[in-house]
Amino acid sequence: MVCLSQQKKHITMSNRINIQQLQPEAYKAMFPLENYVRTSGLSATHRELIKIRASQINGCAFCINMHTADARKNGETEQRIYLLNAWREVNGLYTEEERALLALTEEVTLIHQHGVSNETYEKAISAFGEEGVAKIIVAIMAINAWNRMAIATQMQPEGV
């Protein structure tokens, strides 16, 4: 009998499947959704804030690494990236729109806990309108799908 700690060690050290190689059509099916998000009209800043914050919540090292690098390329500051997981405690660093976006990102990502509150939903609608909120929800859905693929298969960040 293998103790739980040995079992966990075995699981984390084993080689995992590569969905891109084993199921290339399934992997490719993700790209039209990603392309939609990229061309939806959401700003690059908003897209990357969604991707980083959801990836932080989900603990996806691969996606955190990728999207913090992308955010930097788009002009995001180190301070805003470093403080993103504590955005509620920082006054003036994130706009009211970004705060509504981040609250919605957190609640959709953690939807199993309490759903999306009316307060968060109304703030998002007020900041972005119905069409904007629809685009944001799709962007959150997309990064959560990517996170689950990367975490389940233990994809490693570049350079690690």
pLDDT at 159: 80
Domain boundaries, the chain: 44-160
pLDDT at 128: 98
Closest C-alpha among 30, 13, 54 to residue 154: 13
Cα 59 to Cα 104: distance, rounded to the nearest angstrom: 18
Answer yes or no: are the C-beta atoms of 124 and 104 closer than 8 Å.
yes
CA distances from 125 to 93, 131, 136 (A): 21, 9, 11
CATH number of 44-160: 1.20.1290.10
Ordered mean pLDDT values, 10 residues apiece, the chain (160 residues): 38 73 96 98 98 98 97 98 98 97 98 98 98 98 97 91
Q: What per-residue confidence (pLDDT) applies to 14?
A: 54
